[in-house]
Structure 1
Amino acid sequence: MLYRPAVSGICAGCGKFCKQGVGMRIALGIEYDGRAFSGWQTQPHGNTVQDKLNQAISRIAGHEITTLAAGRTDAGVHAAMQVVHFDTRTVRPLTAWVRGVNALLPHEVAVVWAREVSDDFHARFSAFSRSYSYFLLTHPVRPCLLAGKVGWYHQQLDVDAMRRAARCLLGQHDFSSFRAAECQAKSPLKHLQQLDISEQGGLIRFDLMADAFLHHMVRNIVGALLYVGKGSLDEAGLQALLAARDRTRAPPTFMPDGLYLTGVGYPAQFALPTQAEPARLALWR
């Protein structure tokens, strides 16, 4: 373990002068069903993933904990690999940060792994990429068993046309046309490194990876590609939309139901998992 021996000083866990140790930093891999919560970030009513996680970890640690995440997710958006970190002055086996915390969490949230990391690790600022997947069911009848777990469109879509059009979005661009009005990102410039579209049995899967994403960026891209798939927007139209850098000219934001945060990339020095285990997404294979 990387535990720092007990000395007098500022405790990384409580932020106050104490003699219990200078603390340690723990990273966790989290998965959750976003339907039960009002998004990731803490809110006064307390019904967010961060609120529930902070409460559970604080009980195991024996002092107040605040987690910091790789990225925020909206209400209804899921995660198969959210990464968070927190500081604590309490020594616990790593299993306590997994099984112990899970025993105190609602069943819609689970800690999948725990690692002790160095003080220079930050769940958000150390990340160099984020990966999302969106699952879209195309069927005349709305889903029941998969309700809230997949997006839905009632007609078949031209997946080949969507693939061709999607190529124009790869690379570094100003994604203002795919940015929510309330987005707080300092710059609309993002580097989209991957946008793969696959189809199996009426289920269309979009896999995207970028250095970072703007608010609603994935859902807005999926919404625009759906317009391509149904013939309301062609490849040239999507290119023009990207170049316009104008959200008001774009199709509506698509539903959150089928969106999953599936991976966060970190430098090798931190030795952290960067993608959700295949078995965690076995339903979609």
Structure 2
Amino acid sequence: MRIALGVSYNGQAYSGWQSQLSGNTVQDHLEAALGRFATHKVATTCAGRTDAGVHGLMQVVHFDTELQRTPSSWVRGTNAFLPPDIAVQWAQPVPEEFHSRFSATARRYAYVLLQSPVRPSVDAGRVGWVFYPMNGGAMERAASYLLGEHDFTSFRASACQAKSPIKTMQRIAITRRGPAAPLHEDERSDLHHFTPCYWRFEFEANAFLHHMIRNIMGCLIAVGQGNQEPEWMLDVLAARSRDAAAPTFSPAGLYFLGPVYDEKWGLPTRTAAYDWLP
């Protein structure tokens, strides 16, 4: 039988999702835990790989097994063998034609960014950080140029293995939580003239390239801080060259929100891990 799992994890301690010889990946730990619970080797397939330092709020995996257990047993039994920063959130039997990757119609990510004159402390590793205020309207205009089908080569890492750089960006939403008074030009020498806040960027696309969101974030921040005009995003897209875009931004605030599936599969659309995210 085929089982689907929803998995959440804090990616700070791991070398990304995909199994490596080091054994220090989320997939390595999950498969080891599943193997101990099921008493046989378990190979998982995920909806979308994440890099080192990137977090997952609802990674979806599937695997095949002959072991008959209730969904709650799969959750509690597997979690008993997982480290505290990885947890199975739900389990559900699915038809054999379900595939965690190929059945997904879209994927969703969020980037959480702290705008503060002081670096993160209690949320270090869980948020990105900028120490100058940003213009939300300018970032929204820049982001609007990325919607639709485009060649995203300028936002693609050199190690990307995707067959095509052409992807369809379906949604980008930018919201701010907490007050943030913009600096006047003559106040930039004193970074304590504004109140810290969080920015949340949400992205949904049919698929993403390696480092695509982190490279887009670098460009949006450049626009938000006034270093580039919003229309610069059009030039970056048109260049189809990684050299045209801003440097890759930190993985710390990046979260895989999960894949989007057709309702016919009857799978959950979110996990409890969503609730704390700014």
TM-score under structure 2 length normalisation: 0.92
Aligned position for 2:136: 159
Using the alignment, how far apart are the partners of 1:164 and 1:158 within structure 2?
10
**What do residues 93-139 of structure 1 show as CA deviations (whole Å, max 9, x unaligned)?**
21121011001000010000000000001111111100000000011
Asked whether the 8 Å contact 2:5–2:61 carries over to 1, the reply is: yes
Aligned position for 2:57: 80
Offset, 1:281: 2.5
CA-based RMSD of the aligned residues comes to 0.9
Offset, 1:51: 0.3
SS of match in other structure, 2:6: strand
Aligned position for 1:14: none
For residue 259 of structure 1, the aligned residue among 239, 254, 275 is 254
Amino acid at match of 2:199: I
Using the alignment, how far apart are the partners of 2:127 and 2:32 within structure 1?
29
Aligned position for 1:26: 3
Aligned pairs for 1:68-147 (under 5 A) are: 68-147=45-124
Aligned position for 1:177: 154
Using the alignment, how far apart are the partners of 1:154 and 1:242 within structure 2?
27
**What do residues 143-178 of structure 1 show as CA deviations (whole Å, max 9, x unaligned)?**
100100000011111111101111000001000001
Using the alignment, how far apart are the partners of 2:32 and 2:91 within structure 1?
17
Ranges in structure 1 where 5+ consecutive residues have no aligned partner = 1-23
**What do residues 4-61 of structure 1 show as CA deviations (whole Å, max 9, x unaligned)?**
xxxxxxxxxxxxxxxxxxxx00000000000010000000110000000001101111
Amino acid at match of 1:189: I
Using the alignment, how far apart are the partners of 1:69 and 1:282 within structure 2?
23
Percent sequence identity is 53
Amino acid at match of 1:205: R
Using the alignment, how far apart are the partners of 2:277 and 2:43 within structure 1?
33
Offset, 1:70: 0.2
Using the alignment, how far apart are the partners of 1:32 and 1:236 within structure 2?
36
TM-score under structure 1 length normalisation: 0.90
Moved over 3 A (4+): none
Aligned position for 1:283: 276
For residue 30 of structure 2, the aligned residue among 50, 53, 58 is 53
Asked whether the 8 Å contact 1:62–1:90 carries over to 2, the reply is: no
Amino acid at match of 1:116: P
Using the alignment, how far apart are the partners of 1:59 and 1:87 within structure 2?
15
> Greater relative contact order: 1 or 2 (C-alpha under 8 angstroms, separation 6 or more)?
2
Ranges in structure 2 where 5+ consecutive residues have no aligned partner = 179-196
Residue 238, structure 1, aligned to residue 233, structure 2: yes
Asked whether the 8 Å contact 2:8–2:273 carries over to 1, the reply is: no
Using the alignment, how far apart are the partners of 2:132 and 2:76 within structure 1?
43
